Amino acid sequence: MAALGGQDNLTDHLFSQAGVIPINTDLLVINCQAKRFLSIQVIALGTTGIITPAFSNDGITWYSVPVVNPVGVSAGVLTGASSLNLWTTPVFGKFFRLRMTTATTAGPTTLAVVASALPFGEPTTLPNAIPEAGWNASLLLTNTTAQALNVAGAAGIKNHITALQAINVGASTVNLLILDGGTVRWQLPLPQNVPMAINFPTELVTTAATALNANIDAVGLVRINAQGYRAP
């Protein structure tokens, strides 16, 4: 029984069979193209069974490799109760195989393998931050009372702004202000009905545990969208 990997960051490969599994049965053969790491969970292993992990580039000649469990124990084969664990390995070849190199005599054998394009535990990243740290805001500014683009973070955490889009639909030109709490860090004149899109190639200096605010310097009507992230 074989499952071939795709091109997504994570792909799942499952095997389950009850009873006898003959010697030299290939339980899973995984195409590791575009993958970097494998996580192998042995959910159940039939009586007397021994599974050998191996890699190959041509799918003909295979080389066995040790795998490592979460406490750092290395194993060249998966056998008995000690195999009921999670095991990981970097990708060493185009194909990865789990073969039953000693037959089972009874009981179920169940495996779950995840192939990943990233090291396990490594977050997906954006140019400036992981997605979970991002924020966005949409405000309508009508007077000189500041509004929060993003509220204050925890101690040591700053609000960073990466992009801003604004349009002044009021009766006259106003200045758009970006404030670190109450301190102006950036300002731009906004003429009437001219859309502005700003990307910030370098950071605006901000203070930890402080709200990032927007304001205008006179009564008007300004629509603003902004995007950023939180980080030290």
Over residues 137-149, the pLDDT tens digits come to 999 999 999 999 9
Give the bridge partners for 183, in sequence order: 180
Domain ranges of the chain: 10-116, 131-231
Query: What is the reported pLDDT for 7?
Result: 38
Domains 10-116 and 131-231 share a fold: yes
CA distances to 19, 23, 59 from 101, in Å:
16, 5, 17
Instruction: Read off φ and ψ for residue 81, nearest 5 degrees.
Output: -65, -25
- pLDDT, one tens digit per residue, over 156-209 is 889 999 999 999 999 999 999 999 999 999 999 999 999 999 998 887 889 999
SS3 210: coil
Q: Determine the Cα–Cα distance for residues 56 and 59; give it in Å rounded to an integer.
A: 5
Q: Name the one residue in this structure whose structure tokens are 């949409």.
A: 138
Pair 159, 149: CB distance under 8 Å: yes
Query: What is the reported pLDDT for 34?
Result: 87
Query: What is the reported pLDDT for 6?
Result: 36
Q: What is the end-to-end Cα distance of the chain in Å, rounded?
A: 49
2.60.120.40, 3.20.20.70, 3.50.50.60, 3.30.70.260: CATH of 131-231: 2.60.120.40
Q: Determine the Cα–Cα distance for residues 197 and 150; give it in Å rounded to an integer.
A: 19
Query: What is the reported pLDDT for 86?
Result: 87
DSSP of 48-65: T-EEEEEEESSSSS-EE-
Query: What is the reported pLDDT for 122?
Result: 61
CATH architecture of 10-116: Sandwich (2.60)
Q: Determine the Cα–Cα distance for residues 16 and 98; give it in Å rounded to an integer.
A: 13
Query: What is the reported pLDDT for 4?
Result: 36
Query: Which residue numbers in the chain have pLDDT < 70?
Result: 1-8, 81-84, 121-132
